[in-house]
Amino acid sequence: KASIALNGAHLLSWKPEGEEEGLWLSAATSFKKGAAIRGGVPICWPWFGPAAQPGLPAHGFARNQQWTLKAHNEDDNGAVLTFELQANEETRALWPHDFTLFARFRLGERCEIELEAHGDYQATCALHSYFCVADINEVEVSGLGQHFIDKVKDGEPGDSADGKQRYDGRVDRIYTQPDDCSLIHDKAGQRVIEVYHHHHSDVVTWNPGVELSCSMGDMANDGYQTMVCVETARINAPMKSAVEQPARLATTFRVRKKR
């Protein structure tokens, strides 16, 4: 089972057959039209992180826009849905480019998401995936590579000897030389979530920790305890679209239960 909101072409839920929920969604999110949804898989585009100018939305505007369902197909392996977003007066006021975006979801035993961007520009972006975990204190993510930018420490560069991340407080890091697959070891939940990255340059991992979680209006005070973000991204090497050559960013999830 899965559900997708037209607001942001936002994947809210994905449950592989015989498995528990794979994605984390905040019970405190508002679901107001035009407002960002906390959890699931937001599409951050055409910029990632804070906006360059005051008054512009963080993580771009794609996650706040109403997308259109363009195609829907089903077979024995699952469903494929395609959503479209085109430039409009509202987006041009925020970002002066014409564009067409397609978001494709292949939903079944695996979850595949592809963002395809048409136009003539460059953009930073991320598939900002929130995953369910049983206890963040018992989570380890591997396959991230050695080098990272630590956003908690104002962009200070750092190194990880083993390419692994643990969460004993607030974590917000951009790993700049990641493997093509990250593994979320959900030890308390007795499962591993495989996160494959395609057409990426970076992988972001985030958990707000207790203090930031308590300050966020769209997250419960203890929300940080059962979620972790592992995000396929193009940040340090922006995606470049040309008229005849669209840019892509994609990710694939699979849940593997420990026996």
Query: What b-and-e string marks burial along 121-154, b requiring 16 or more CB atoms within 10 Å of the CB?
Result: bbbbbbbbbbbbbbebeebebebbbeebbebeee
Q: Which of 10, 59, 128, 197 is catalytic?
A: 128
- For the question of residue 84 being annotated catalytic, the response is no
In the residue annotation, 231 being an active-site residue is answered as yes
SS3 content of the chain, % helix, strand, coil (to 5): 10, 50, 40
Using an 8 Å Cβ cutoff, are 191 and 184 in contact?
Answer: no
Helices (H), the chain: 89-94, 209-215
Count of Cβ atoms closer than 10 Å to residue 237 Cβ: 13
CA gap 150, 69 in Å, rounded = 37
Among the options 112, 114, 116, 231, which is catalytic?
Answer: 231
Q: Decide: 38 and 218 in contact? Cβ < 8 Å.
A: yes
What is the set of active-site residues?
128, 231
